Amino acid sequence: MRQGWRWFGPDAPVTLDDVRQTGATNIVSALHQVPIGRAWTEGEVRQRQALIETTPAGRSPLTWSVVESIPIPDAVKRTGGKAKAEIAAWIASLEAVAACGIKIICYNFMPVVDWTRTELDFVTPTGATAMRFDHERFAAFDLFVLNRPGVENDYSEADRARAKAVHDSMTEAEMAEITRIITSALPGSTTEPMTVPGFREKLAAYDCVDAKHLRQNLIEFLKAVTPAAEALDVKLTLHPDDPPRPLFGLPRIASTADDYAALFDAVPSAANGMCFCTGSLGVRADNDLPGIARRFASRIHFAHLRATTREGDGRSFHESAHLDGDVDMVAVLKELVAEDRRRSPQHTIVFRSDHGHRMLDDLEKTVTPGYPAIGRLRGLAELRGILHALDARPN
C-alpha cells in the first residue's frame, strides 16, 4: 500500500517538506484554483506535478498519485446526461490528468453541500480539538435559520422541540458560527461560500430530484466518462456521503454497501471504483466496514482511513483518534492488505490518514479545517504501525 498525504497546494499551511517529514510518499492533490466546470489543461496539471515531483537535493522524492478531486458540476447532479458540456469538460480534465501519468481520480456526488459539520474545534478530553456533527445543533440551524420549505416534515415532534430548545439557548454568535461553517466551502467542497438565501435557492433547484433520480444521474455520468477512463487506465473512486444520510431534504446515494452495489451493477466497468472512507461509512452503525472492504476489494483504489465516534442516538458524532472510535482499523487494514497483495505494484492501493485532531503546536496555528499536520502525522504513524504488524511494509 502507498502512503498518501492530501496537500492543498503552494499556499497551504502544510508544505511539501512537511509532508516529507511524515514519511508519506504519494501526494493527493487537485487544481483547486480552477473554477468548477472549466476543463483542466495538461499544462496546468504538469505545472502542479513539477512543483510536487521536482525534488530538491538531498530530499525524499514525492509522487502525485491521486487527484482529489475534479469537482462534478451541479448541472450533472441535477440533470445527468443532459449536462453534455459539463461532462465533456470533466472528461477533458480526466484526459489531462492521465496524460501526466496520474491514474486515480477521487470524486463525490453529494448535492449542494460536501462534508458537513457543526463544529470545527470540539474540545476532546486530551485538550486536542476535533470536528463534530451535533444533530440537535444542525436541526436548530435547518429549522430556525435556514427554515427551508417543508423542513418540519424531516423531523419528529420530539426532534423539533429539542432543536427549538437548543436554538433558544444559543447566542447569536454561536448560531452565526454554525451558519458560517455549514454554508462555507470546506476543503474538497464542490460549492462556493453561500448566503442563507443563496443556500435556499440551491436547495430549491433539487425539489424534483429524489434518490432514484440522483442515482440515475450518477449512472448516466459514469456511462459517459468510464470509456475514457478505461482507455487511459484511470480508476474513478467515488467518495461516500458525509454524513452518510440525507441532509437538508437532499438525497444521498453513496452511504451503504447496497448503494455502491447498485452503481457497480449499473456500470460494471473496472474503471468504476470507490474511495473507501472509513470515517464517512463508519458513522452508520449498520455499515460493516471490514465486510464492505472484502465485498468490494477489487473496486478499492484509494482509501481515507480515519475513525469517528457515534454519540447519543447515533446521529451526532465526532472525529476520534485514528485507532479509537467505532472503526475496527486493524480488521479493515487486514482486508485492504489482502487485496493489495493480489495486485501489481503500479495498481496498489493509495491510502491517507484522513482528517486529524488539532493538537500541540497546531492549536496555535492557522490550519485547514480537518487537515492539521500533527494530528494527521499521528494517524499516519499509527496506521503504518498496523501495517508493519501485518507484515505489510507500506511504500
Q: How does pLDDT run across 337-385, given as a tens digit for each residue?
A: 999 999 998 899 999 999 999 999 999 999 999 999 999 999 999 999 9
Collapsing DSSP to helix, strand or coil, 296 comes out as: coil
Nearest to 139 by CA among 169, 157, 160, 119: 160
Quick check: is 107 catalytic?
no
Collapsing DSSP to helix, strand or coil, 7 comes out as: coil
Q: Which of 100, 106, 275, 277 is catalytic?
A: 277
d(CA 323, CA 310): 14
Quick check: is 355 catalytic?
yes
Residue 244 gets which letter from DSSP?
Answer: S
* Whether the predicted pLDDT of 292 surpasses 70: yes
Domains, the chain: 2-116+209-389 (3.20.20.150), 131-201 (no CATH)
- Helix (H) and strand (E) counts for the chain? 14, 12
Band (183; pLDDT cuts 50, 70, 90) = confident
Q: For the chain, give the mean pLDDT.
A: 95
Judging by beta carbons within 10 Å of its beta carbon (0-12, 13-18, 19+), is residue 231 exposed, middle or buried? exposed
Q: Which of 167, 239, 301, 322 is catalytic?
A: 239
Average pLDDT over residues 231-257: 97
Among left, alpha and beta (phi > 0; psi -120 to 50; other), residue 10 is alpha
Distance of CA 77 to the CA centre of its chain: 17
Residue 358 gets which letter from DSSP?
Answer: B
Quick check: is 167 catalytic?
no
Collapsing DSSP to helix, strand or coil, 393 comes out as: coil
Beta-strand pair 129-133/119-123: antiparallel
In residues, how long is the chain?
395
Quick check: is 304 catalytic?
yes
Average pLDDT over residues 253-280: 98
Instruction: List helix spans (H) across the chain.
Output: 16-22, 42-53, 74-79, 84-99, 135-141, 157-169, 172-183, 196-204, 211-231, 257-266, 278-282, 289-295, 329-340, 373-389
* Whether the predicted pLDDT of 185 surpasses 70: no
Following CA atoms 245, 249, 251, 255 in sequence, which dihedral angle do they give, to the nearest 10 degrees?
Answer: 0
Q: Which of 135, 167, 301, 304 is catalytic?
A: 304
Among left, alpha and beta (phi > 0; psi -120 to 50; other), residue 37 is left
Contact indicator for 4, 23 with CB cutoff of 8 Å: no
What angle in degrees, to the nearest 10, is found between the helix axes of 257-266 and 211-231? Answer: 50
Nearest to 18 by CA among 59, 73, 51, 46: 59
d(CA 178, CA 184): 10
Amino acid residing at 357:
H
Band (186; pLDDT cuts 50, 70, 90) = low
Strand partners, 237: 106, 273
Q: Which of 107, 206, 260, 371 is catalytic?
A: 371
Phi, psi of 160 (to 5 degrees): -65, -40
Band (191; pLDDT cuts 50, 70, 90) = low
Quick check: is 301 catalytic?
no
Average pLDDT over residues 200-216: 95
All 3 cell numbers of residue 180? Answer: 458560517
Q: Which of 135, 322, 355, 357 is catalytic?
A: 355
Average pLDDT over residues 272-276: 98
Q: Which of 259, 354, 357, 362 is catalytic?
A: 354
Phi, psi of 14 (to 5 degrees): -95, 125
* pLDDT given for residue 192 in this prediction: 64
pTM of the model: 0.95
